[in-house]
Structure 1
Amino acid sequence: MDRHTIKSSERVDNIDIYFEYDKMDDSLPTLVLLHGFLSSSFSFRKLVPYLIKEFNVISLDLPPFGQSGKDYRYTYSFRNIAKSVVHFLAGKNINKFSIIGHSMGGQVSLQLIKHHPDLVEHAILLAGSGYQPSYSEKMKLVSYLPFFSFGIKRYLQRSGIEKNLKNVVHDPALIDDEMRQGYLGPFTKKHDIFRALGRMLRDKEVDLLKDDLHDIQTPCLLIWGRHDRVVPLSIGQRLHDDLPNSELVVIEDSGHLLPEERPTEIYQLIKGFLKTAPPTYSRVNG
């Protein structure tokens, strides 16, 4: 299917948010896609062509990643990022949607659902991260030092794109030049993402705890790769236990980067879930 994709950015809450939008059909349900840490909407490029067959699809670059803003003055807590996503969508008159969050995008998704439960009909967490504390006060103080952003840059340079990609996929044969450039590209441009990452470290709040998750009634589909080395399956199992209306599906022979590794299977799971799970329902955990 040919894609007619709108690609642009808009100023929201004093930060530029880049977005890609496929279809604008009021008769179709809308899916909002949120990517993971050090990633961008690029990570959904293999999944979106399937989703646009039946949905409006809008993917965002969460600040300070991808082509979105990296303003040092913005508050990069997950709750504030979620609030900016809500304000962005409201500006597009999108007031009901389902959300797909990969990795860190899952943390932002849970914050959004917690504080704006009336907006989200369904949530799909693809290896969604969770249960992380905030950083220590000592680390936060160190992040103010002038060399800290340089240290982040040096650390990422030493780890290298190849090593990082091999850590997030189960089959390294999937790694090609398009993938390398897609994930590395935003970090080679002339902007101060590393300074923004230091600010993000300071702004990071404690993830939602068990009592918070118990209050979430939104139907949630949790999809995990059996061999995820970044956000292990144990996190998915905990989320399944703590989210009352959740279903956990484990995909064999897969790692952390599920939208890249298994887009066809992920699409079928999402499609089935959205068609069978009403916006409010009670599911027995199993």
Structure 2
Amino acid sequence: MTFKPSIAFRAKAKAGEAMVEAFFKKNGKQLGVNLHTHEGPPLISWAKIGSDKKETLVLIHGFGDRKESFYFISEFLKEKLNLIIPDLPGFGNSGMDPQLVYSLDNYTDWFGRFIEQTGLDSFHLAGCSMGGAIAVKLAAQFPSKVKSLSLVDPAGFYLPGKHSVYDEAVAGSNIFHINSPEDFETLQSRIFKKSPPLPACVREYMILKAIGDRQWFAKIFDELMDMESIKSGTISLEQASLNHLCKDMTMPVMLFWGRHDSLLPWETAPFVNELLPRSQVHIFDEYGHAPHLEGPRKLAERMLDFIRDEKI
């Protein structure tokens, strides 16, 4: 049964939304963010930080997220790198188009055009969760452009025999389908080792937004995973995964993973490391699924060390 918020709850959530947007606007100004729009189609809203550094890093966010979640880590990356941070189509300010099919192949095509039309000839690439899966496909499509690949708890890989959010989805349980405050708290506990403290009004805004987006998220999740083919038995979870792309990844890859990730098990990292020709692994013992939010400074330091060692 879907939660029915009171008038007071809605009013506090509205105040929370205003607080969140003001916070990100202030952060963006402090970081020197320049906002742009790639008309596409589809439309992609994106942020640029810096233009005078030798190296550029493209950051792709995860499912249900927005580009501003990378503002925390950008504080520690911007002194060494130019940063390009897009909103994935279907999320953030890139808009929702029910006529589009949000498959992994389509995301790759959309970002391929974005990369070419924004004139990115050579860059480092990083992706978190769903953004990691898109980053892998982009790196496979543009091997001469991607100088290094940083994957943070990436989606897309499948470790046979180890329970993950994919198995839950096939069994009919989608952790992103939020119907109540309790569902939201469960999702938070699955994403973070320790859920960050939030003002009550911000939490209530996030709860209402998650409930309001649940059908939209279900559409994107099913199309992204090709759930119709998996549930019909046409393909298996392993066949739908990106495991088969690993052997062709020629650029250096760093796999960052939180040991307390309950969506995508950390044991996937050493498994994928064995499949990749040029890769390293770093496990964060103190974090869950979102090291870029739980420990932005530590992740930034590790990422900068990797890019510094591997830059061409």
Tell whether the 8 Å contact from 1:66 to 1:186 is kept in structure 2 after alignment.
no
Note the C-alpha offset of 1:119: 1.4
Secondary structure of the 2:90 match is coil
Note the C-alpha offset of 1:187: 4.9
Q: 2:58 aligns with which of 28, 32, 41?
A: 32
Whole-angstrom CA distance in 2 between matches of 1:199 and 1:228: 22
Secondary structure of the 1:98 match is strand
Note the C-alpha offset of 1:186: 5.9
Give the share of equivalent positions with the same residue, in percent.
23
Amino acid of the residue matched to residue 21 of structure 1? K
Tell whether the 8 Å contact from 2:176 to 2:218 is kept in structure 1 after alignment.
no
Whole-angstrom CA distance in 1 between matches of 2:275 and 2:175: 36
Whole-angstrom CA distance in 2 between matches of 1:259 and 1:79: 25
Q: Pick the structure with more helix per residue.
A: 2
TM-score by length of 2: 0.74
Gaps in structure 2 of 5+ consecutive residues = 1-28, 161-165, 227-239
Whole-angstrom CA distance in 2 between matches of 1:186 and 1:61: 17
1:41 — aligned with what? 67
Alignment deviations for residues 97-132 of structure 1 (CA, whole Å, 9 cap, x no partner): 111100111100111111221111001001112235
After superposition, the Cα gap between the structure-2 partners of 1:120 and 1:167, relative to the gap in structure 1 and judged at 3 Å, is same
1:17 — aligned with what? 44
Tell whether the 8 Å contact from 2:38 to 2:45 is kept in structure 1 after alignment.
yes
Note the C-alpha offset of 1:152: 8.3
After superposition, the Cα gap between the structure-2 partners of 1:188 and 1:167, relative to the gap in structure 1 and judged at 3 Å, is closer
Note the C-alpha offset of 1:179: 7.0
1:163 aligns with 2:191: no
After superposition, the Cα gap between the structure-2 partners of 1:269 and 1:203, relative to the gap in structure 1 and judged at 3 Å, is closer
Alignment deviations for residues 212-266 of structure 1 (CA, whole Å, 9 cap, x no partner): 2111111001111111111111111221111110000111111111101111111
Tell whether the 8 Å contact from 1:76 to 1:204 is kept in structure 2 after alignment.
no
Tell whether the 8 Å contact from 1:37 to 1:103 is kept in structure 2 after alignment.
yes
Whole-angstrom CA distance in 2 between matches of 1:154 and 1:50: 30
Amino acid of the residue matched to residue 162 of structure 1? E
Tell whether the 8 Å contact from 2:49 to 2:82 is kept in structure 1 after alignment.
yes
TM-score by length of 1: 0.80
After superposition, the Cα gap between the structure-2 partners of 1:197 and 1:165, relative to the gap in structure 1 and judged at 3 Å, is same
1:176 aligns with 2:208: no
Secondary structure of the 1:45 match is helix
Note the C-alpha offset of 1:35: 0.9
Note the C-alpha offset of 1:23: 1.2
Gaps in structure 1 of 5+ consecutive residues = 140-150, 280-286
1:77 — aligned with what? 103
1:284 — aligned with what? none
Amino acid of the residue matched to residue 209 of structure 1? N
1:209 — aligned with what? 243
Amino acid of the residue matched to residue 178 of structure 2? L
CA RMSD of aligned residues (A): 3.0
Tell whether the 8 Å contact from 2:60 to 2:88 is kept in structure 1 after alignment.
yes
Aligned length: 260
1:276 aligns with 2:309: yes
Moved more, 255-264 or 123-132: 123-132
Secondary structure of the 2:260 match is coil
Whole-angstrom CA distance in 1 between matches of 2:187 and 2:211: 16
Tell whether the 8 Å contact from 1:3 to 1:22 is kept in structure 2 after alignment.
yes
Alignment deviations for residues 41-98 of structure 1 (CA, whole Å, 9 cap, x no partner): 1321210111111111111111111221211222311122122112112222112111
Provide runs of 4+ in structure 1 moved above 6 Å.
151-154
After superposition, the Cα gap between the structure-2 partners of 1:16 and 1:200, relative to the gap in structure 1 and judged at 3 Å, is farther
